[in-house]
Structure 1
Amino acid sequence: MNKAVTVMPDVQGSADTRHIAIDKVGIKDIKHPIRVKDRSGREQHTIANFNMYVSLPHNFKGTHMSRFVEILNEHEYEITVDSFKDMLVEMTKRLEARAGHIEMAFTYFVIKLAPVSSVRSLLDYEVTFIGEITDDKPVITVKVIVPVTSLCPCSKEISQYGAHNQRSHVTVTAKTNGFLWIEDLIDLVEKEASCQLYGLLKRPDEKYVTEYAYEHPKFVEDMVRDIATKLNKDPRVTAYVVESENFESIHNHSAYAMIHKA
């Protein structure tokens, strides 16, 4: 005995009479496993947090939210940096949208060697891939938050001994026209800081990083200018935002600077 097929109404696909288009509609904060290849050729298996949006024309009441989740789950564990752009294109086609936006944020680890003892340790960095597409033209942006040490030049100049230093977060958001390893951006930032950070240091290493930072004082303004100078010389980078936030050790506020090149 055949059961009657019930046709379910498509409320999202019904017409809307308010004539107001929506710039972004979709889902936020959905977690999914991904694989990321590092510069050494190894693959890191990690969990990414996704935000996925499309534009919605004025004449449609809503988008089909379930299709965003379907796209993620169809890829299962196969989401990679290489397939990120393909997923962006697929999303806009499946949802019949003119424009789309995906953010894929994850923790990325780099093996660091201590400067004197060479002891190995992992340091974590927050990375986000941002994909935007309009009229079938995708643009990928990479955002990396790099923790570093900054030492105040003014404090060093006016003090008979010592100088205050602090941990800083340098954020680089870069649009590229060629392949760029995550480590390339990390290296660029760390070389322009008063000193880079390490997951593990022995006493000889601690002495080294303390003295190295003292010999390389940087204002927050110096940090963003020096990094911007290096980004300007990299032909793979077409646009960027570089920010530095210094979590002051002698104040209850942060120092901040930003440079934007469109």
Structure 2
Amino acid sequence: MSKQLPDVQASEPDVSVGLSQVGVTDVEKLVKLAREDKRPIVLMAEFEVFVDLPQGRKGIDMSRNMEVIDETLEDAVAEPVFRVEEMCGDVAERLLEKHDYTTTATVEMEAELMLNEETPASGRKTQGTADIIASATAREDAPTREEIGARVVGMTVCPCSQRMMEGHARAELRDLGVGEEEVREFLQEVPQAGHSQRGHATLTVEATGDPNVDLGDVIDLARDSMSARIYNMAKRPDEDHMTYAAHANAKFVEDCVRSMADGVVETFDHLPDDAIVTMKQSNDESIHQHNAHAERVAEFGALREEVNGQ
């Protein structure tokens, strides 16, 4: 006769306080990202899975959480998925079904995506990376909301320091007897030095259903919001190209977020008004010990009105 083990998790806690998120983190799984007419991309993905916990229950069924994760993600490995955020939604909905004491389940996923690309000047084959960000939240009383996005690295140049260097250059050229018209033309053609930063751009879109957001478009928008793209492998012509491009497109950290906003409104004009757009930019400063950060979280309808000046 088997011994009945006590269900400690279902007992009353010492302090009756509900918890918004309880679960597991750092769960690694292989996920296949499907592509039209191409072999799927295999991702080493890291998951975080949470449910809410009512005040009268001591703990969650941790083994049940892992069972649901394993079941759903093993299915995803066997059958490639086109939308990783939809897979997160499937896991969240299963969690909600299996835990009769919860009202909300959240699944978050991150994975590194390898990008095949060419260097901008020499045309050499190289590889870059972008971090895929996906999540979903399932609730008892509302449709499941899914989020897809990316975090990428680029280069920015400070417009303020560049403007000061332009002032120095203008003064030196005048002292050398160069005419004002020639000075103006020179500074238009040759961007002056400014202190540069490595930038980290994050862009995600959250909505119900399938908002038809292409991950490749998200990555491109985030990369192009900064002063210039960067590449892992670069010959001297590529280094010259990136340096010139960045200094010809100097941007504050705030400008990068606004560039993302403009790109989202133009590229994803089909999004529903209640879609949530998250845009973040963090710059690793080169001449300061601190770093710079800016972000905006907004419903798409409100963001569109701002960008279009309505």
TM-score by length of 1: 0.90
Distance 1:27 1:194 in 2: 38
**Structure showing the higher strand proportion among its residues:** 1
- Tell me how large the CA RMSD over aligned residues is: 2.1
| Residues 220, 255 of structure 1: 8 Å contact kept | yes
Judge which range, 79-88 or 164-173, deviates more.
79-88
Distance 1:197 1:248 in 2: 16
1:33 alignment partner in structure 2? 30
Which AA in structure 2 matches 1:93?
Answer: E
Question: What do residues 21-66 of structure 1 show as CA deviations (whole Å, max 9, x unaligned)?
Answer: 2211111222222222358844221222211111122232221000
CA separation of 1:16 and 1:165: change in aligned 2, threshold 3 A: closer
Question: What do residues 175-198 of structure 1 show as CA deviations (whole Å, max 9, x unaligned)?
Answer: 145122221111112222211111
Q: Secondary structure at the match of 1:196?
A: coil
| Residues 102, 132 of structure 1: 8 Å contact kept | yes
> 1:13: how far off?
2.3
Distance 1:222 1:76 in 2: 39
1:141 alignment partner in structure 2? 147
| Residues 52, 103 of structure 1: 8 Å contact kept | yes
Alignment of 1:179-218 (within 5 A): 179-218=212-251
Q: Secondary structure at the match of 1:240?
A: strand
| Residues 35, 78 of structure 1: 8 Å contact kept | no
| Residue 167 (structure 1) aligned with residue 171 (structure 2) | no
Structure with larger Rg? 2
| Residue 59 (structure 1) aligned with residue 65 (structure 2) | no
Question: What do residues 135-162 of structure 1 show as CA deviations (whole Å, max 9, x unaligned)?
Answer: 1621111242111111111222221342
1:178 alignment partner in structure 2? 211
CA separation of 1:173 and 1:76: change in aligned 2, threshold 3 A: closer
| Residue 105 (structure 1) aligned with residue 137 (structure 2) | no
Q: Secondary structure at the match of 2:46?
A: strand
Which AA in structure 2 matches 1:173?
Answer: T
Gaps of 5+ in 1: none
| Residues 149, 218 of structure 2: 8 Å contact kept | no
What is the percent sequence identity of the aligned residues?
Answer: 26
2:283 alignment partner in structure 1? 246
Which AA in structure 1 matches 2:133?
Answer: T
TM-score by length of 2: 0.77
**Structure showing the higher helix proportion among its residues:** 2
> 1:127: how far off?
2.0
> 1:167: how far off?
1.0
Gaps of 5+ in 2: 170-191, 300-310
| Residue 154 (structure 1) aligned with residue 160 (structure 2) | yes
> 1:214: how far off?
1.6
Distance 2:161 2:34 in 1: 42
Which AA in structure 1 matches 2:130?
Answer: Y
Aligned residues: 259
